[in-house]
Amino acid sequence: MAQQLEIEYKTLLNQADYQKVFEYYQLQDQSFQQQTNYYFDTSDQQLQKKRWGLRIRQYQDYGELTLKCPTTTIGLLEITDSLSLQETKQLIEEKRIKLGGEVAKQLTENGIDPQEVRIIAELTTKRYEFPIAVGLLALDHSWYNGREDYELELEVSDETQGKIDFSQLLEMLKIPYQKAENKILRAMNR
């Protein structure tokens, strides 16, 4: 189990700008990671009402159960339980989350029964992720509900400087900022 503060800036991209970033960073020589997110909520949307996000992310050979909660200051608090690939597949097949971990404990402590959550959306992403001088950059191509989109995301450790750095990055790449909703909201928007 891990807890960390996530501070990130992101923008949606059109296909041409995605290709521009891909070529600028010479990603044809980089490996990518394909991941599928399975998002959860209760039938009465208790998580959405709290502005929390809950997902199982399946990678090629393992998985993660992550709860994201807004903080009173900056960013999101991420609570993550590691999962084996077998455990990940079983939970997805059974459409439930792991009941014995820190994520379930956090839900219970906040009045949400972990046994009441169910899968509400699915999204698959092809991600190129790599460090740059100002943070961790991710270039995503995602598919969900018969749609696809492109996103550029910069994860940083300092909110103020990160915002400046992200603006400068977009300016340097000559890419316009386009507000990007969280992936869970995009995947749920049928």
Q: Where are the domains of the chain?
A: 2-188
For the stretch 94-148, pLDDT in tens is 999 999 999 999 999 999 999 999 999 999 999 999 999 999 999 999 999 899 9
CATH of domain 2-188: 2.40.320.10
Contact 65, 81 (CB under 8 A): yes
pTM over 0.75: yes
Give the residue-averaged pLDDT of 30-47.
95
- Per-residue model confidence (pLDDT) at position 178: 97
Please tell me the distance from the alpha carbon of residue 96 to that of residue 29, in angstroms, as a whole number: 37
- Per-residue model confidence (pLDDT) at position 190: 56
